[in-house]
Amino acid sequence: MHKLFKNVTEVLDLVEGFRNKTVAKSDWTHEAHLAVGVWFLSNFDRFEATCLLKSGIVELNYSMGGENTPREGYHETITLLWIWLIDKYLKANEGKELLELVNGFLQNEYSERNVLLKFYSKEVLFSTKARAIWVDPDRRLLTSPF
């Protein structure tokens, strides 16, 4: 079970920390990644949100002392698949408030970290190619995320 957010201020503080590159590494959890994704996709169109999320993740990795290499850091396919999953969820839940959207997605089966392995084998998902560019799933078909 994921840690849920107690109030919208927690979500907004996290987003501010992401945008300012001040979020603590210990707070940059799987849930935090997803909550930030929900906020961006709720506040920008999918393409603008994608650009902002991609560049923000790369910059945040560097600000935390991490690297973005062929083996670690930013992962294109994983990021784009999460954006696609969040976007589908948001379209099915239009009109809800941010806190309800964030916590609702975190309680959804598609927020589980291993859900990506329903679409991809480990070999494909964790390949250098998938880290660098979008790679179509090899297990379960989906329409292109973009």
What pLDDT digit, counting tens, does each position of 97-125 carry? 999 999 999 999 999 999 999 999 999 99
Token duo for residue 85 = 């999953």
- From residue 128, alpha-carbon distances to 60, 71, 119 in Å are 21, 7, 17
What is the pTM for the complete model shown?
Answer: 0.93
The reply to whether 141 falls in a domain is no
User: pLDDT tens digits for 28-78?
Assistant: 999 999 999 999 999 999 999 999 999 999 999 999 999 989 999 999 999
Structurally, the chain folds into a number of domains equal to 1
The parent domain of residue 42 ranges over 8-132
Can you tell me the mean pLDDT for 6-22?
Answer: 98
The reply to whether 98 falls in a domain is yes
Band (143; pLDDT cuts 50, 70, 90): low
Q: Compute the distance between CA of residue 87 and CA of residue 39 in angstroms, rounded to an integer.
A: 11
The reply to whether 32 falls in a domain is yes
The reply to whether 103 falls in a domain is yes
Residues 53/83, Cβ–Cβ less than 8 Å: yes
The reply to whether 72 falls in a domain is yes
Q: Hunting for tokens 């920390």 — which residue is that?
A: 17
